[in-house]
Structure 1
Amino acid sequence: MLCAALGACASRPEPIRGPSSTSSASQSEPASCASRYTVRRGDTLSGIADRCGVRWLDMAAENNLSAPYTLRDGQVLLMPGAARTYTVRRGDNLYRIAVSHGMSLQELASINAIPAPYTIYPGQELQLSGTARPAQTASATPPAPSQRPAQTPPPASQPAQQPAQQPSQPAAGAPQFRWPHSGEVIANFGAQPGGRRNDGIKIAASVGEPVRAAAAGEVVYAGNELQGYGELVLLRHGDWVTAYAHNSVLRVSVGQQVEAGAVIAEAGSTGSANRVQVHFEIRRGVTPVNPLEYLPRR
């Protein structure tokens, strides 16, 4: 009983199996052991290792598994020595990729130096192992983003600072952005009291008011898995990305093309917001820029 409780006394791991009728992943089916193996109902770590001709201890180490080595249906295992990378596909988000590879969102983001709001792009190659990469100051090309560690949006209670001056010429290739909401700016871009930093601006709103696309683009994220942002929409506009956080309702889905001014959400106070607002960011590649320098003067 003590060995069972500790989960580390057996010489070979025997994770929880499925029903007896499927207690063995079909031996007659060929095992997909080239570099990755997708767990099927009834699989055990030792059984997969035997069929793929590798040591179960090596497989456990490769996938950061520990006793009692429980597997779940659909889990992706890397073969020992396989390339520790993943190529992003349309519809992916960083949270789901991390979970499917037995990682936390923060770990995967840190290894790949991807800041909040964790924007990724189809065709981008992510490292699944390694140490956190150093920050870079800018990147205008979507693949392989590298930026400072992820941050959680600051509270919206800070008073707005003096708006930055509009540049005479916007950055080359920048879309003609429009305001996502007509409310008052209640927190500006940059350093905030208490050592916090705001990667966008915060716009006062009432619950249910429309949040509009700042430019035509593609929805690359629509969900609430990113801590602090609540119900979040990310739009990609070529090399640029806009973020709209703290919504009450999302009106778009991943992969959808939207026109400038289209309603993409309804304002709210989800996530870390302490009042109803629209948290709005503009990023050139993965680098946040001051939205007030790209939005038309009011």
Structure 2
Amino acid sequence: MKLIQLFLLLLTISLFQGCASKLPVPVDNSKNVIQKCPDVYIVKKGDTIFSLSLKCGFDYKDVAEVNNIKKPYKISAGEEIRFDLLRNESKSNSESDDSKSDNVEIARLDDNDEQEVREEKALTQEDIGEPIEINEPVATLEIYNTQSVKKTKEIVAKNTESLANRFMWPTEGDIAQQFNPDDGMKGILIEGSLGQEVKAIAKGRVIYAGEDLKGYGKLIIIKHDDDILSVYGHNRELLVTEGQKISAGEIISTMGQTDDGKIHLHFEIRKSGLSVNPMNYFKSRT
């Protein structure tokens, strides 16, 4: 009798384990949900329109326009910055472009229009006349020659050189990491020593100097013209203040450490709010 009871007990346990193994395992997907920027951001102390735009990947002019912020783009703690308006505008423009490309407009004839269709008599050889023999071309066109090719090469070389020599280097040192936006690297890392001088790449105005932007450490942003911003991250000491006018080559900070303890300058160039490869803008090193 005890053997039968023991057999039934073992059978019950095995059935329970089999059913339990088929139960779904709860999965926490909360870690996979990453939101870089909220739709509506509440301004905190130290925030600027420039630092928020840089963080969220928008052009500061677009952010200011949709939020009705006028020059000199001052914002205060507690104010709302609407990023959802920019996202919706971008989405609507994309949908509008798609609909335009898919729609084909077909002209319809008015039912009241009367059209007369006539069959024309085919022309005969007598109507056309005898063919005329042409022995020489009416006009000639020389597409390429040595002089024009040489001139074209000179123009291309000049434009390329002017682009490459636009800005000076922000500091001395080898490139530790190249520009690679697909891998999250929106600028370059320049090696150096702790406390090494960091200089402005061109004249401009400091629009941000602080350490409120996560991932950049002590940060400086300089506005050079309507389209170009230069970004200097992971500084040890900031030597300029917001609103200060800067000359090309002026010392603005000293080099500090990155989050992993290495001594680097994180440098970016933003053109119309988008990250571009700084190596395309630097002057050649001598």
TM-score (norm 2): 0.48
TM-score, normalisation: structure 1:
0.46
> Larger C-alpha radius of gyration, 1 or 2?
2
Which structure: greater helix fraction? 2
